[in-house]
Amino acid sequence: MAFFPEGQGRLKLLILYTIKKFRTPISREQLCTAIATVDDADFFDVSQLVAELEQEMYIIAVPARDQHLLYLTPKGEEMVTTFECEIPKSARDEVAGYADDNRERIKRSNCVFCDSLPKPDGSWILTLALLEREGTMFEMKIHMPDAKLTNTAMDVWLNDAENVYTQILKRLTRSMD
């Protein structure tokens, strides 16, 4: 990628900088929302440039359930580190603030997964999962008796997955006395 202080080069650099500032994988849609907060680029422009950055090997998109999560490659990290001072300080500050304010929500939404599927008898199949870069770290399917308990379990999982996962591991790995 040739660096240009305006136009597509500037926007590509802003995309790389935004991914770097999140310090967690981010989806294309989440990236477009972040860029729209600090720049007037539209979704289609950002999507096109993300595809170009992938082809140029500055970022990679790793499949994770129903989306792809974006990561900087070493080449992308080098590019943004070299040229980030060319992004106006106000834009850098705005991106950093947006990333700080939304990092945990985005991390949770990209790493904590749940889905439910109704069955003809009124029961539900609930799938709970924790995702990481290498794939699914933990997945559990549970047959739930009704929609109310399914919704309760989904809320607990979405709000406290790490603790639930830790409790399951402790229970499964404790030695039998």
Tokens of 78: 């080098």
Residue carrying structure tokens 């939404």: 109
CB proximity list for 161: less than 8 A, separation 6 or greater: 108, 112, 128, 130
pLDDT at 1: 44
Mark whether 105 and 126 lie in a shared domain: no
Which of 110, 130, 147 marks a domain boundary? 110
Domain presence at residue 143: yes
Asked whether residue 95 falls in the same domain as residue 11, the answer is yes
Alpha-carbon distance 132 to 149, whole Å? 27
Indicate the helix (H) or strand (E) that contains 81. Answer: helix 74-83
Across the beta sheet with 112-118, what order do the strands follow? Answer: 112-118, 124-132, 135-144
- Single residue among 93, 110, 127 that ends a domain in this structure: 110
Rounded to two decimals, the pTM is 0.70
Residues 99 and 136 in one domain: no
Range of the domain at 137: 111-173
Whole-angstrom distance, CA of residue 23 vs CA of residue 147: 36
Number of domains in the chain: 2
How far apart (Å, rounded) are the C-alpha atoms in residues 158 and 12? 33
pLDDT at 63: 78
DSSP annotation of 6: S
The radius of gyration of the chain's CA atoms, rounded to the nearest angstrom, is: 20
CATH number of residue 26's parent domain: 1.10.10.10
Express each pLDDT in 15-37 by its tens digit.
Answer: 999 999 998 889 888 999 899 88
DSSP 31-81: HHHHHHHHS---HHHHHHHHHHHHHTTSEEEEEETTEEEEEE-HHHHHHHH
Residue 164 and residue 85 share a domain: no
Cβ-based neighbours of 127, under 8 Å, separated by 6 or more: 113, 114, 115, 116, 117, 139, 140, 141
pLDDT digits (tens, 9 = 90+) for 39-65: 878 888 899 999 999 999 999 988 776
